[in-house]
């Protein structure tokens, strides 16, 4: 049996999981805990505190043989600097200070890619069955705080996972309303270009709402209006007291605010279009997986046909996209699962 340590490291929260494994398909969770990242000067004291608590809980005093930490940010030559924390992580230093022989750092979206192989059918909702090809590439896209994208290529008997920064590609409007949205974003933020992440993300939901509100497309719901204004007043603060994207999504799902419904409709259309763009570039007949925290929360609105209509609406290439399997990942711990699987492969 191999003792593994998996971590999902973010600017706000760090989640650690101690796992026992005999093979890559048999992962048994022994202990798990979550910590506020900002309460610690570095990852090392978090891991030390976690392992001490895990030893008390499980009675197992062994040190993990391997560890993998999924980082919310780019990983360059086995090092990573977190965007919202003054942490600089280096695998050599971590291995020495934690006394763990093998440690790797991977991008958090690469972890999602690895995590696909640890999911069950209950963890997925299929939007399009398609025509699965076992040796074809796979793709991952996920809207949450930002917009992550990645892909998987089969090499021998295993898939290699590659993260990307595709979420920072240009937003490509396709109709008059989206062209107006683009002009609004450029003017509002005084920028020369707008990335697709500015539209397809939690922040994007708020931006779309602001655009429709300022264009007086419909009357505001007082409750949602107050939440959005509170968020606007907290601009520049590290921590916000409200989450307008979540509030808008809930209001749209419950059909209690027409402006929120229009916002999420526009968001889902743009999400589907961008997923289709990624699919065109990769032809992932091994499956395109939709990750991130937003899709499961507005699941009925992702399933109503609008997402897939915009996914496949690619002119002469429509027939190709209709053959790509498309799934939504419901399990929000897919990154931790992926980190554990990646650790096993070290």
Give DSSP secondary structure letters for 282-303.
H--TT-EEEESSHHHHTHHHHH
Task: Write out the binding residues for ATP.
Answer: 7-12
**Beta strand pairing status for 66-71 and 102-107?**
parallel
| CATH superfamily membership of 2-121+333-345 | ATPase, nucleotide binding domain (3.30.420.40)
For 24, residues 6+ apart whose C-beta sits below 8 A from its C-beta are 117, 341, 344, 345
From the candidate CATH numbers 3.40.367.20, 3.30.300.130, 3.40.50.1820, 3.40.50.720, the one assigned to the domain spanning 167-329: 3.40.367.20
Task: Write out the binding residues.
Answer: 7-12
Domain with CATH 3.30.420.40 in the chain: 2-121+333-345
Token pair 């270009």: residue = 193
Single out the residue of 80, 166, 69 nearest to residue 114, CA to CA: 69
Cα 19 to its chain centre, rounded Å, is 22
- Determine the Cα–Cα distance for residues 33 and 53; give it in Å rounded to an integer: 9
Query: Is 162 in contact with 112 (CB distance < 8 Å)?
Result: no
- Determine the Cα–Cα distance for residues 318 and 311; give it in Å rounded to an integer: 9
Domain with CATH 3.40.367.20 in the chain: 167-329
> Tens of pLDDT along the chain (346 residues)?
789 999 999 877 899 999 988 765 678 889 999 999 889 999 999 999 999 999 989 887 788 999 999 998 788 899 998 766 889 999 999 999 999 999 999 988 899 999 999 999 999 999 999 999 999 999 999 998 889 999 999 998 889 999 888 999 999 999 999 999 999 999 999 999 999 999 999 999 999 999 999 998 888 999 999 999 999 998 877 677 889 999 999 999 999 999 999 999 999 999 999 999 999 999 999 999 999 999 999 999 999 999 999 999 999 999 999 999 999 999 999 999 999 999 998 8
Residue 255 DSSP one-character state: T
């Amino acid at each position: 049996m191999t003792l593994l340590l998996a971590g999902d490291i973010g600017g706000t929260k760090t989640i650690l999981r101690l796992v026992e494994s005999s093979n890559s398909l048999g992962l048994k969770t022994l202990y798990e805990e979550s910590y506020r990242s900002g309460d610690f000067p570095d990852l090392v004291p978090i891991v030390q505190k976690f392992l001490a608590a895990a030893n008390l809980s499980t009675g197992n005093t062994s040190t993990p043989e391997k560890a993998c930490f999924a980082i919310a940010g780019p990983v360059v030559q086995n090092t990573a600097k977190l965007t919202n924390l003054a942490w600089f992580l280096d695998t050599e230093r971590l291995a020495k200070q934690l006394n763990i022989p093998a440690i790797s750092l991977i991008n958090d979206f690469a972890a999602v890619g690895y995590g696909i192989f640890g999911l069950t059918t209950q963890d997925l909702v299929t939007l399009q069955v398609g025509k699965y090809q076992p040796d074809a590439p796979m793709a991952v896209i996920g809207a949450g705080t930002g917009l992550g994208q990645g892909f998987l290529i089969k090499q021998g008997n295993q898939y290699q996972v590659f993260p990307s920064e595709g979420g920072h590609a240009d937003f490509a409007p396709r109709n008059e309303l989206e062209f107006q949205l683009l002009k609004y974003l450029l003017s509002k933020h005084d920028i020369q270009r707008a990335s697709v992440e500015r539209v397809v993300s939690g922040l994007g939901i708020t931006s779309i709402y602001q655009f429709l509100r300022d264009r007086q497309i419909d009357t505001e719901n007082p409750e949602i209006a107050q939440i959005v204004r509170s968020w606007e007043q907290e601009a520049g603060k590290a921590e916000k007291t409200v989450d307008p994207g979540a509030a808008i999504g809930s209001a749209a799902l419950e059909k209690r605010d027409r402006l929120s419904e229009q916002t999420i409709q526009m968001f889902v259309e743009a999400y589907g279009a961008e997923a289709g763009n990624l699919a065109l570039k990769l032809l992932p007949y091994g499956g395109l997986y939709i990750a991130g925290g937003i899709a499961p929360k507005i699941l009925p609105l992702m399933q109503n046909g609008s997402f897939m209509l915009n996914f496949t609406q690619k002119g002469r290439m429509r027939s190709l996209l209709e053959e790509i399997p498309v799934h939504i990942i419901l399990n929000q711990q897919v990154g931790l699962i992926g980190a554990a699987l990646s650790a096993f492969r070290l």
